[in-house]
Structure formats: C-alpha cells, structure tokens
Amino acid sequence: MMASSQEELVEAQSQIWRWALSHLVSLSIKCAIQLRIPDAINQHGKPATSLSQLVSALQIPPSKTHAFGCMMRVLSTRSTGFFSVQQRQQEEEGEEEMCYSLTPASRLLLRNEHLNQASLPLLHFHPAMRDYCSVLDTWLLEENDEGTNNDDNINKRTAFEVVNGASFWDYLAGSSGPARELKGLFYDAMVSDSKLVADALVSSAGGEGSLLFRGVRSLVDVAGGTGIVAAAVAEAYPEMKCVVLDLPHVVEGLSARPHPGNLEFMGGDMLESVPSADAILLKWILHNWDDESCVKILKCCKAAVSGDEGKKGKVIVIDMVMSEVGVEDDLSREIQLCFDLMMATLYNAKERNEMEWKGLFDAAGFSDYKIIRQIGPRSIIEAYP
C-alpha cells in the first residue's frame, strides 16, 4: 500500500469530519421545520429576509443570535441548498447583513404548501426511528435467537425491533404516546409523498401522463391508503373507473368522505386477490416486502389484468430501480443507497436493481416489462402479462 501524501491525508480527514458532523445538517433541517423558518421568510413579503428580521420574527433571544446565524449558514451552503443567501446593505443602519430567501426545497417545507414534505424529515427524527440506527453494529453481528448455528433459527429481527421490542408495523399499531406520534408522522409522510407523485403523474395529462394511461378505462390502486393518487387520476380522467384497494380497517369510512364520482374504495388483501382492471398501480409498495411476498402480490396483479377474450392490461409499478455499481454517484443514487439500507434494517427488505425486478416479473409470470421514466430516485415500470 502506497503511503498517502500529506494533501491526501488532509483531504481524507476532511471527508471523515464532513460525515461525522453531517447529523448537524439534519438536525438543523428539523429545527428549521419546527421553528417555521421557511414560513417566516415567506411571510416577510420581500425577495430576501435579513438575519435580524428573522431573529425578530422568530423571537430568538439576543444571546442565541450567533448560533442561529451559524445554523442558517449551514442550511444555505451549495450542498444543502435549503436557503439562498446574499449579503446586502441595510437601509436603516447602512451596514451589510446576511439576507436569506427560499429555494425549491424550503418551499416544500411551507406550512400551507399543498405538496408540503415536512413530515418525512420529522418522521426520521422520531426516537423510535432515530435510536434503532444506533445499534447497527450489534445487530449486524447478531446471528440468531438461540445462540446456535441452525439456519432454521436464524434471527430475522430487524434493527428496529431490537431497539423498540416490536416490528415497525406492530409498533405503529401500539397505543402508547410515542407509537401514536410515529403513526401520525408516518401516514402524514405517505400522504405528502402521494400528493407529489400524483401531481407528477397527472400534471402532464396531455403528454407523458396520457401515454401512461392511454386506453386505460379502469384502474386499481393497490394498497392505495386514503386514495390520494387514485383521486388525482380519477379527476384527471373522469371517464376512468378508479378503485382503491386496501385493508378493510384502512378504507373504512373513506367512501363517506368527498371524492370523485368515478372513485370507489374496496377492502381486501393484495396477497390474496386484486379486482380486475385495465391497469393495476403499485406505488412504493413492493420495496418493503421480501421476494416471495412480492411474487405473490404480482401474481394477484397479473391475474387482475389478464382479462377476458385475450385483452390484457398492465401493472404500473412506481418504485426505485437501483443504479448499477460503477455508475457515477449523484443525488438520486445516494438516496437509493440510503433507502436500501433503511429497508434492510427496518423491514428485512430491499430496494432492487433492474435484474432483480426482472426476476420478480419472470417469477410472477409476466411476459415483458418496460422502465418508462424516473420520478427523482424512483422509476415508473410497466409490466405486461
């Protein structure tokens, strides 16, 4: 092994420092959400808000002004990009001061923003989510419950379960205060994500959106929750019959809420059967299931779109297609890798690359598939029976 130059050693140390301190960036984002800093800048009504104006609006004590300014600068670097910053001369005092304005990322944190994404960062700072990451070292070395080498007894507990005493889904079903809080954050995060994805799917109804739903007269959104995506599709395509399939307790009472006339809710189990339709939608469902369960779900979906008299539909999967090893890292790939780690430690599941998706489609009996396009780190895949 060749000795590193002094320059390389310093650069390596800087890299270690960067990631050792990266939690401060995440904590600063959490703080910005909870203090409603984006709203304070937005309500100021001018292109940029000075640090002193923010301090006053948020009622930051004078003794904390320096620390607050430090945090704002952390959130305004090129790599974080939550605020843009520039130095301006203040008319009253004639002194220069740092002034901040919103970026696309911080606009998604505005309280009244329709596509608000604040719940996802807050979800990952919930103690139950934060603490399980601290035991990865002991969890990775843990072989089984019995202390034996019998493969049948291999410990399948997730890292989340080691810390919280229950699987993620069982924890959400709990009645404790922390469990209720986590459940609220989780479902809020899923709803906010569904709104953004729905907007991406139907906002180009004259272009890519119409191609995705061309010839589709009926759609079933499998595990579609409260129907955010299905409702958006139903409104964009009033001639299409849309159904949300989810567990009975999830869809109970949803039919009584306002919804498009061409949308209905149905209780059921995707592991057993799926209603027939021209298209089945699986939005961000399969990544937290193991391969065997995914094949089972896909077989039910294939049966639902196989149709009569030779007419066949398609299954639309919205999920991550992991970039291959060797592909240059970018933001989407870094997010994919982090989600892959989260799926492994939270559910004993995984994100999949294209060959792994092909393996699932082949095992479920599909004849072909096509990756249509990307929505950020995720892709839209069409699978054909």
CB 365: neighbour CB atoms within 10 A? Answer: 13
pLDDT value at residue 96 = 79
130 inside domain: no
* Paired tokens of 263: 């949308």
pLDDT value at residue 214 = 87
pLDDT value at residue 150 = 44
User: Do residues 214 and 359 both lie within one domain?
Assistant: yes
User: Do residues 220 and 339 both lie within one domain?
Assistant: yes
User: Which ranges in the chain belong to alpha helices (H)?
Assistant: 6-20, 23-35, 37-44, 51-58, 65-74, 104-107, 119-123, 127-132, 136-141, 159-164, 168-172, 177-202, 208-212, 228-236, 248-251, 291-305, 331-347, 354-363
172 inside domain: no
User: Do residues 217 and 340 both lie within one domain?
Assistant: yes
* CATH at residue 46: 1.10.10.10
173 inside domain: no
User: What is the chain's pLDDT, residue by residue, as a tens digit (385 residues)?
Assistant: 556 788 899 999 999 999 999 999 999 999 999 999 999 999 987 888 999 999 999 999 999 999 999 999 999 999 899 999 987 755 555 667 899 999 999 999 999 999 999 999 999 999 999 899 889 999 999 875 544 444 443 458 899 999 999 999 999 999 999 999 999 999 999 999 999 999 988 875 544 555 789 889 999 999 999 999 999 999 999 999 999 999 999 999 998 898 999 999 999 999 999 999 999 999 999 998 999 999 999 999 999 998 765 568 999 999 999 987 766 668 888 999 999 999 999 999 999 999 999 999 999 999 999 998 888 899 999 999 9
pLDDT value at residue 4 = 74
State the pairing for strand pair 49-50/368-375: unpaired
Strand pairing partners for 96?
89
- Classify residue 217 by its DSSP letter: -
Task: Note the pTM of the prediction, 2 decimals.
Answer: 0.87
* In contact, 232 and 199? CB cutoff 8 Å: yes
Q: Which of 44, 126, 249, 287 is catalytic?
A: 287
183 inside domain: no
User: Do residues 229 and 378 both lie within one domain?
Assistant: yes
11 inside domain: yes
28 inside domain: yes
189 inside domain: no
Dihedral sign, CA of 237, 241, 246, 252?
positive
Radius of gyration of the chain (CA): 24
Question: What phi and psi, each to the nearest 5 degrees, are found at residue 65?
Answer: -60, -40
Q: Which of 107, 141, 169 is the last residue in one of the domains?
A: 107
- Sort 57 into a burial class: Cβ within 10 Å, 0-12 / 13-18 / 19+: middle
287 catalytic, yes or no?
Answer: yes
pLDDT value at residue 310 = 58
User: Do residues 233 and 355 both lie within one domain?
Assistant: yes
* CATH at residue 299: 3.40.50.150
pLDDT value at residue 151 = 43
* Paired tokens of 282: 């699986």
Q: Which of 41, 76, 107 is the last residue in one of the domains?
A: 107
The rounded distance, in Å, linking the Cα atoms of 379 and 375 is 6
Q: Which of 107, 126, 156 is the last residue in one of the domains?
A: 107
Structural domain of 356: 204-384
User: Do residues 228 and 374 both lie within one domain?
Assistant: yes
Beta strands across the sheet bearing 83-89: 49-50, 96-102, 83-89
Q: How many domains does the chain have?
A: 2
362 inside domain: yes
